[in-house]
Chain A
Amino acid sequence: MERTEALLIADLCEGDETALAPLIEKYKRMVYRLAMQITKNHADAEDVMQETFLKVYRSIRTFRKDAAFETWVYRIAVNEALNFVKRRERRQERTIETTAEAEFEADLRYRVTRASDPHVHAEKTELRRYVTEAVNSLSLKHRTVVILHEFEGLTHAEIASILNCSEGTVRSRLHYARKKLRTLLKPYVDAGAI
Chain B
Amino acid sequence: MSLKCQKIQRLLSDYIDETLSKRQMRHVASHLNACRTCKREAIDLKKTCHLLENFYVEPKASDAYYARFTKTLQQRIEESAPTTLHQQVHGIGARWTWQLLARVRRYIDRCVPSGFITVRQKVLPYYALVAAMMALLVAPFVLQQMPSDENGEHALGHLYTVAKARLFSTSNSVSRQPAATLAIQQDKATAQPAEIRRNVSRNRTTETPTVDSGSDVWQFTDDPAAEGYILATLRKDSKDTFPSVALNIDSELLTYAELPTQGAPWEYPTAREFLTDGRYTVLLLQGIRSGQHALQEYKRKWSQFDGFSRKLLDVPLETLSITEVYDSIEL
Contacts and interface: CB of A to CB of B under 8 A. Distances in A.
Interface stretch (B12-20, B158-166, B203-211, B283-291): B12-20
Main secondary structure of the interface of A (DSSP, over half): helix
Contact of A189 (B13, B44, B95, B98): B44
B119 A64 contact: yes
B156 interface: no
B69 A28 contact: yes
B52 A36 contact: no
B263 interface: no
B99 A14 contact: yes
Question: Chain B interface mostly helix, strand, loop or mixed?
Answer: helix
A190 B13 CA distance: 18
A24 interface: yes
Interface string A145-182: 01000110000100000000000000100110011011
A13 B12 CA distance: 45
A54 interface: yes
Given A14-B98, A15-B99, A178-B13, A32 B59 contact: yes
Contact of B12 (A32, A175, A185): A175
Interface stretch (A1-9, A97-105, A114-122, A123-131): A123-131
Given A24-B70, A50-B73, A132-B57, A66 B118 contact: yes
Nearest to A130: B55
A182 B72 CA distance: 41
B47 to A, nearest CB: 5
Interface residues of B, number: 36
A124 B55 CA distance: 8
Nearest to B99: A14
A128 B45 contact: no
B70 A132 contact: no
B53 interface: yes
Interface residues of A, number: 50
A169 B59 CA distance: 27
Interface string A15-30: 1010011001000110
B61 A32 contact: yes
Given A14-B98, A28-B69, A175-B13, A185 B48 contact: yes
B141 interface: no
A46 interface: yes
A137 interface: no
A66 B120 CA distance: 11
Contacts of A181: 48, 51-52
Given A14-B98, A15-B99, A135 B56 contact: yes
B102 interface: yes
Given A15-B99, A171-B13, A189-B44, A33 B59 contact: yes
A185 B73 CA distance: 40
Contact of B51 (A33, A61, A65, A194): A194
Given A37-B59, A54-B77, A188 B51 contact: yes
Nearest to A155: B19
A22 to B, nearest CB: 11
A76 B93 CA distance: 29
A127 B55 CA distance: 7
A36 to B, nearest CB: 4
Interface in A32-68: 32-33, 36-37, 45-46, 49-50, 53-54, 57, 61, 64-66
A128 B56 contact: yes
Given A13-B102, A131-B57, A188-B51, 17 more contacts: A15-B99, A50-B72, A54-B73, A61-B98, A65-B118, A124-B55, A128-B57, A150-B53, A151-B52, A156-B19, A171-B19, A175-B14, A182-B48, A189-B44, A189-B48, A192-B47, A194-B55
Interface of B: 10, 12-14, 19, 44-45, 47-61, 66, 69-70, 72-73, 76-77, 80, 95, 98-99, 102, 118-119
Interface of A: 13-15, 17, 20-21, 24, 28-29, 32-33, 36-37, 45-46, 49-50, 53-54, 57, 61, 64-66, 124, 127-132, 135, 146, 150-151, 156, 171, 174-175, 178-179, 181-182, 185, 188-190, 192-194
